[in-house]
Amino acid sequence: MAVGQIGNFLAYTAVPTVLVTPLGALGVPFGSILASYLLKEKLNILGKLGCLLSCAGSVVLIIHSPKSESVTTQAELEEKLTNPVFVGYLCIVLLMLLLLIFWIAPAHGPTNIMVYISICSLLGSFTVPSTKGIGLAAQDIFHNNPSSRRALCLCLVLLAVLGCSIIIQFRYINKALECFDSSVFGAIYYVVFTTLVLLASAILFREWSNVGLVDFLGMACGFTTVSVGIVLIQVFKEFNFNLGEMNKSNMKTD
């Protein structure tokens, strides 16, 4: 798992966020396939269809994703972080988080799954951009130039933001799993989290600026396909559905 997270971190530093975040869902179909063989867990026909859709949607995402990074240096990152549009977006996210954590969650969190999902997903607006920013700033830390100290300060700030957001996310993910079914939570959480992360990354890194209409529609279709696949794997994994049994029942009826 540690190696996987290191690979995930390196991917954010080398590839556009709009590609890495949706592809994180590939862990679900691969995990389901491995569990069916190694742990002898049942994978019904809907689960197999979900695995196929997730892989097909991922291929479409790869084909239509941006081919180059829009932010490649520390100076560009600092300029993007101080952009008034991104600062305004962060202020809105912070206000929504304060409202959800201190007023809505205590009253409606245990009964409404979207409360905890919204908190965790909004925190993704800090988690993923911070991860990508750390990778960009770390490239200049060990250089012997005046910008290395600024890079170190920026990296420490982003590390603090990343650590705080992850801790809060873990807390509310655990609360959600205590109150709601993990399969339903996982499926909805993936869709909402990925959508908000892509929104934050689009505002900060402007990765959609070089994407044409065809590629945009292709990525939207790919993301929708992956999301449907995740829902089929997660939500319907306990659904007893077998084509062989259906054929037998149809033969008996005839």
> Which of 199, 228, 219, 230 shows the shortest CA–CA distance to 61?
219
pLDDT in tens, 179-201: 888 778 887 888 888 888 888 87
pLDDT in tens, 129-142: 788 778 777 777 76
CB 64 within 8 A of CB 38: no
CB 219 within 8 A of CB 63: no
pLDDT in tens, 102-157: 999 998 989 998 999 999 989 887 887 788 778 777 777 766 666 677 778 888 88
How far apart CA 219 and CA 61 sit, in angstroms, is 5
**Is the pLDDT higher at 224 or at 234?**
224
| pLDDT class of 252 with cuts at 50, 70, 90 | low
CB 16 within 8 A of CB 51: no
Secondary structure (3-state) at 237: coil
Average pLDDT of the segment spanning 212-225: 86
CA distances to 16, 219, 248 from 62, rounded to whole Å, are 11, 8, 41
Query: If you ran DSSP here, which 8-state letter would residue 26 be given?
Result: G
SS3 for 93-136 is HHHHHHHHHHHHHHHHCCCCHHHHHHHHHHHHHHHHHHHHHHHH
Average pLDDT of the segment spanning 38-53: 83
Size of the chain in residues = 254
When mean pLDDT is compared over 12-16, 25-29, 75-79, 172-176, the highest value belongs to: 172-176
Has residue 248 got a pLDDT over 60?
Answer: no
Give me the chain's average pLDDT, please.
80
